[in-house]
Amino acid sequence: MNSNVASSSGGGGVDGSSPPRRNSKRPKYSRFTQQELPACKPILTPKWVISAFMLVSFVFIPIGVASLLASRDVVEIVDRYETVCIPEDKRADKLNYIQSTENKTCSRTLIVPKRMKQPIYVYYQLDNFYQNHRRYVKSRSDEQLRDSKNENDTSACDPEDDSNGLPVVPCGLIAWSLFNDTYSFSRNNQNLTVNKKGISWKSDREHKFGNDVYPKNFQNGTLRGGALLNTTQPLSEQEDLIVWMRTAALPTFRKLYGKIEVDLEANETIQVTLQNNYNTYSFDGKKKLVLSTTSWLGGKNDFLGIAYLTIGGLCFFLSMAFTVVYLVKPRRLGDPSYLSWNINPAGH
């Protein structure tokens, strides 16, 4: 195409001697260049409009119902404990309490409202915690996490990059502020095992966190952040860290703590012994322990179902409205009397 543009600019009357017929400049015929390619030209006829809206509502309403049912099937126990786990006399100055070294063991009792089929997922939920803050998100080094050779690669980890001149592994604010409350569960004085394996993405374990990378100089600076890491375990096996390092999108988030792989019956009592170590008190963050089953859609959230029902209902309403409109005030398609010059002969 371009060659033609270039060649056609010259010529003309400058050399009047050349013969009049120069077919070299004649554009080649093709349906493409003549803009005559076969095309489908769909138009929105009433039939199409009504059936499109109808179709949407017929698809959406069942999906909405199914989603709602799935969400309702999920059994969820939520226990907020950040205040109740502080002895009543210390509640005036929670921050001081949490920063002190005294024993922070706390007991909670949960009652299972409905039968919960295994696996039951254990989550901790934090609130008002900006894991998505730019300073926080950027403060990590994927290179270092992946390979022990890159342990000095801490440039992105400011301000938690080195400790007394030695590189911190894993570096950065995210790792440094690792959540460190722990939970153990018992039912009728019988321990419920919490399986902490397989709570992170497989790809993370296998490709992003190296199996030869061991924690070094972690949390030995002047400032103590969150949890300590087992220096004898490679990072790829420290799943709590791997889960934590997947930063959440919102300031309210849940993270997987473990799985309980036995069924819990309705009205059973679960004793939780938790170590309330993590400081959310300085920024008034809530802490919750969540036990939840899942459905095919995941956890408990009615929004998807409601949204589907709303949109489906709206489309149903629209299709009805258009049906009524077309019945009451039909317009023959392609009726030339609607052309502007027929409606408004003086207008142009």
Q: How far is the CB of 217 from another protein (least distance, A)?
A: 16
Judged by CB under 8 A, does residue 33 bind another protein?
Answer: yes
Residue 22 to residue 51: CA distance in whole angstroms: 56
User: Which of 146, 154, 219, 272 touches another protein by CB under 8 A?
Assistant: 146
Q: Is 37 in the site for another protein (CB under 8 A)?
A: yes
Q: Which is nearer to another protein, 1 or 88 (CB)?
A: 1
Interaction of residue 218 with another protein, rule CB under 8 A: no
**Any idea what DSSP says for residue 89?**
G
User: Which residues face 264 on adjacent strands?
Assistant: 116
Strand, coil or helix: 273:
strand
Q: CA 120 to CA 118: how far, in whole Å?
A: 5
Tell me if 220 contacts another protein by CB under 8 A: no
Residue of 47, 53, 45, 52 lying closest to 335 (CA atoms): 45
* Complex with another protein: residue 109 or 164, whichever CB lies closer: 164
**Residue 113, interface with another protein (CB under 8 A)?**
no
First to last CA, the chain: 40
Encoded tokens for 101: 């070294």
Q: Which residue among 228, 269, 282, 324 contacts another protein (CB under 8 A)? A: 282
Please report, as residue ranges, which positions from 297 to 326 form the binding site for another protein (by CB under 8 A): 297-301, 303-304, 307-308, 311, 314-315, 318, 322, 325-326
User: Residue 262 interacts with another protein (CB under 8 A)?
Assistant: no
Sign of the alpha-carbon torsion through 71, 72, 73, 75: positive
User: Measured between alpha carbons, how far is 42 from 48 in angstroms, rounded to an integer?
Assistant: 10
Q: Per CB under 8 A, does 183 bind another protein?
A: no
Task: Determine, following the binding rule CB under 8 A, whether residue 92 of this chain makes contact with another protein.
Answer: no
- Least distance CB 188 / another protein (angstroms): 25
Q: Minimum distance from CB of 344 to another protein (Å)?
A: 11
Cis-peptide, bond into residue 119, ω within 30° of zero? yes
Asked if 173 is part of the footprint of another protein (rule: CB under 8 A), the reply reads yes
**Counting contacts by CB under 8 A, is residue 6 touching another protein?**
yes
Closest CB 231 distance from another protein, rounded Å:
22
Pair 144, 171: CB distance under 8 Å: yes
φ, ψ at 318 (rounded to 5°): -60, -40
Q: How far is CA 95 from CA 6, 22, 98, 101, 222, in A?
A: 76, 91, 5, 12, 18
Nearer to another protein, 255 or 287 (CB): 255
Q: Binding to another protein by residue 327, rule CB under 8 A? A: no
- Span interacting with another protein, options 102-110, 183-191, 263-271, 289-297, rule CB under 8 A: 289-297
